[in-house]
Every structure is written in C-alpha cells, then in structure tokens.
Amino acid sequence: EAGVTQFPSHSVIEKGQTVTLRCDPISGHDNLYWYRRVMGKEIKFLLHFVKESKQDESGMPNNRFLAERTGGTYSTLKVQPAELEDSGVYFCASSQFTGFRSTEAFFGQGTRLTVV
C-alpha cells in the first residue's frame, strides 16, 4: 500500500514567487493535515481537511497560504507570494478517522522549501 507522498521533495524559489506543494494521502483516508517546521522552530499545525472540507485552518499563518483539496483526494498548498520566513519543511499527514476513533496519522517525507 502506498504511503503519503509529497511533491516536490525540495523546492528553491525566489522571494515573491509562487510555489505549490502537493500531498497525496493514503487511499481511503478522509482526513488530511498540513504541518510545517520553520528552521529552528517546532513543527506547527497548519490545517485539517475532512474530505474536501476545511475542518480547521486555525494554524494557517496568513492569507498568502491557500490550501485546497478538490474532490477529497490529493491536496495542494500554495504560497503566493513566498517570503523568506516561509522557508522550512512542510509535512502532510493523513488518517482514516478522527476523534475517539482516531487511528494514527501517517506522514509523508515532507517538502523542503527554501525561499531565497
């Protein structure tokens, strides 16, 4: 069974440019989560999708970040325009259930974003 996959694994862009990160969750997992780890800081929750709906986007840093999950399958996270402080590793995770029935979340290998 394929795990959570993220594309690209590494992206280097200039300040002001746009970058789109993609996450393919495990098939059948309704829940999809985005996290990021900015250099030197802890991993932070960004948002949570249940199927195609945003369940919680309280962790999104600002309106330069747009996450979508069309059709409830893969998700994209667009940063437009990118700033230097957006550099870090962006993780995606998926799980089958949430709440008390929650199973473990499976993480992808992350996308390392470098804004220069």
CB of 61 to other proteins, least distance (A): 15
Residue with smaller CB distance to other proteins, 69 or 108: 108
Least Å distance between CB 54 and other proteins?
A: 11
Report the residue number, 14 or 58, with the smaller CB distance to other proteins: 58
Q: What's the closest the beta carbon of residue 17 comes to other proteins, in angstroms?
A: 23
The smaller minimum CB distance to other proteins, of residues 56 and 85, is found at 56
- DSSP track, 23-76: EE--TT--EEEEEEEETTS-EEEEEEEETTEEEE-TT--STTEEEE-GGGS-EE
Could you tell me the sign of the dihedral formed by the alpha carbons of 66, 102, 8, 40, in that order?
positive
Integer Cα distance of 90 and 9 in angstroms: 10
Interface ranges with other proteins (CB under 8 A) = 3-4, 9, 31, 33, 35, 41-45, 48, 55-56, 58-59, 89, 91, 93, 95, 98-100, 102, 104-110
Q: How far is the CB of 49 from other proteins (least distance, A)?
A: 10
